[in-house]
Chain A
Amino acid sequence: MTATMNFGTSSQPSPFAPPADDVRPDVPRVLVKTTPDDRLSFWGSLVGSGALVWLLYTQILPFSGRVGFVILWYGAFLAMYAGVTAMGNPATVVLDRLMGAIIRGGAYVVFGTLATAVVFTGAKGVEALSNLNFFTDDMAGVRPTDDLSMGGVVHAMVGSMIEIGIAVAVTLPLGIGAAVYMNEVGGPLARVVRTIVEAMTALPSIVAGLFIYTVLIVTLGVSRTGIAAAMAIAIMMLPIIARSADVVLRVMPGGLREASLALGATKWQTVRQVVLPTVRPGLATALILGIARGVGETSPVLLTSGASTYFNANPFNEPMNSLPLYVFAAVRSGEPLYIARGFGAAAVLMVLVLILFIITRILARQKVGRR
Chain B
Amino acid sequence: MATVTESAPAAAAPPDTTDVPRGIDPGLAREDKVFFVAARTVGIVVLAIMGSIGVFLGYQSIPTLSRYGASFFTESQWQPENDVLGISAVLVGTFTVALVALVIAFPLALTSAIYISEYATSRVKRLLVSVIDLMAAVPSIIWGLWGFFLLQPKAIHAAHWLHTHVGWLPFFNVDTDPDSASWAQSRYAASAFIAGIAVSMMVLPMAAAVMIHVFGQAPIGEREAALGLGSTRWGMVRTVVLPFGRGGIIGGSMLSLGRALGETIAVVLIISPAFDIKFRPLEVGTNTVAALIAGRFGEATSSQLSALLTAGFVLFIITLIINTLAAMIVARSRSGAQE
Report if A and B touch in the complex (beta carbons < 8 A).
yes
> Interface residues of A, CB < 8 Å — how many?
92
The docked-state distance in angstroms from the alpha carbon of A297 to that of B263 is: 10
* Any A CB within 8 A of the CB of B143: yes
Instruction: List chain B residues, Cβ under 8 A from A346.
Output: 141-142, 145
The docked-state distance in angstroms from the alpha carbon of A201 to that of B32 is: 31
| Contact assessment for B141 and A327 in the assembled complex, using a CB-CB cutoff below 8 Å | yes
| Contact assessment for A63 and B161 in the assembled complex, using a CB-CB cutoff below 8 Å | yes
Q: Which of B2-10, B70-78, B149-157, B276-284 contacts A (4 or more CB under 8 A)?
A: B149-157
| Contact assessment for B201 and A117 in the assembled complex, using a CB-CB cutoff below 8 Å | yes
**Given the contacts A100-B233, A204-B290, A268-B31, A350 and B142 also touching, CB distance less than 8 Å:** yes
Q: Kindly provide the distance from the CB of B153 to the nearest chain A CB, expressed in whole angstroms.
A: 9
Instruction: List chain A residues, Cβ under 8 A from B166.
Output: none
Q: Kindly provide the distance from the CB of A227 to the nearest chain B CB, expressed in whole angstroms.
A: 16
| Contact assessment for B320 and A202 in the assembled complex, using a CB-CB cutoff below 8 Å | yes
* Any A CB within 8 A of the CB of B43: yes
Partner of B158, one of A64, A111, A203, A303: A64
| Contact assessment for B145 and A205 in the assembled complex, using a CB-CB cutoff below 8 Å | no
| Contact assessment for A110 and B112 in the assembled complex, using a CB-CB cutoff below 8 Å | yes
* Any B CB within 8 A of the CB of A181: yes
Interface residues of B: mostly helix, strand, loop or mixed?
helix
Instruction: List chain B residues, Cβ under 8 A from A207.
Output: 57, 262, 293, 309, 312-313, 315-316
* Any A CB within 8 A of the CB of B194: no
Instruction: List chain A residues, Cβ under 8 A from B39.
Output: 177, 180-181, 184-185
Instruction: List chain B residues, Cβ under 8 A from A95.
Output: 232, 234-235
Q: Which of B13-21, B83-91, B126-134, B215-223 contacts A (4 or more CB under 8 A)?
A: B126-134
Q: Which of A24-32, A137-145, A235-243 contacts B (4 or more CB under 8 A)?
A: A235-243
| Contact assessment for A299 and B53 in the assembled complex, using a CB-CB cutoff below 8 Å | no
Instruction: List chain B residues, Cβ under 8 A from A185.
Output: 36, 39-40, 43
Q: Which of B61-69, B103-111, B244-252 contacts A (4 or more CB under 8 A)?
A: B103-111
* Any A CB within 8 A of the CB of B56: yes
| Contact assessment for B35 and A271 in the assembled complex, using a CB-CB cutoff below 8 Å | yes
Most A CB contacts (10 A, CB to CB) among B45, B111, B308, B322 go to B111
* Any B CB within 8 A of the CB of A266: yes
Partner of B154, one of A64, A117, A205, A267: A64
Instruction: List chain B residues, Cβ under 8 A from A110.
Output: 108-109, 111-112, 135, 204, 208
* Any B CB within 8 A of the CB of A52: no
* Any A CB within 8 A of the CB of B116: yes
| Contact assessment for B46 and A197 in the assembled complex, using a CB-CB cutoff below 8 Å | yes
Q: Kindly provide the distance from the CB of B11 to the nearest chain A CB, expressed in whole angstroms.
A: 44
Instruction: List chain A residues, Cβ under 8 A from B319.
Output: 202-204
Q: Kindly provide the distance from the CB of B221 to the nearest chain A CB, expressed in whole angstroms.
A: 22
* Any A CB within 8 A of the CB of B196: no
| CB-CB contacts below 8 Å: A169-207 with B | 173-175, 177-178, 180-182, 184-185, 189-190, 192-193, 196-207
Instruction: List chain A residues, Cβ under 8 A from B137.
Output: 289, 292-293, 296, 353, 356-357
| Contact assessment for B115 and A107 in the assembled complex, using a CB-CB cutoff below 8 Å | yes
* Extra contacts besides A95-B234, A117-B142, A331-B148 (14): CB < 8 Å: A104-B111, A106-B112, A120-B145, A182-B43, A193-B47, A210-B293, A211-B53, A238-B49, A242-B46, A296-B142, A302-B294, A328-B265, A331-B269, A353-B134
Please report A residues at the B interface, Cβ cutoff 8 Å.
63-64, 67, 92-93, 95-96, 99-100, 102-107, 109-111, 113-114, 116-117, 120-121, 124, 173-175, 177-178, 180-182, 184-185, 189-190, 192-193, 196-208, 210-211, 213-215, 218, 235, 238-239, 242, 266-269, 271, 289, 292-293, 295-299, 302-303, 324, 327-328, 331-332, 342-343, 346, 349-350, 353-354, 356-357, 361
The 8 closest A-B pairs by CB, nearest first: A106-B111, A296-B139, A204-B262, A177-B42, A96-B232, A181-B43, A107-B115, A207-B312
Please report B residues at the A interface, Cβ cutoff 8 Å.
28-29, 31-32, 34-36, 38-40, 42-47, 49-51, 53-54, 56-57, 60, 107-112, 114-116, 119, 128, 130-131, 133-135, 137-143, 145-146, 148-150, 154, 157-158, 160-161, 201, 204, 208, 231-235, 237, 258, 261-265, 269, 290, 293-294, 297, 302, 305, 308-309, 312-313, 315-316, 319-320, 322-324, 327
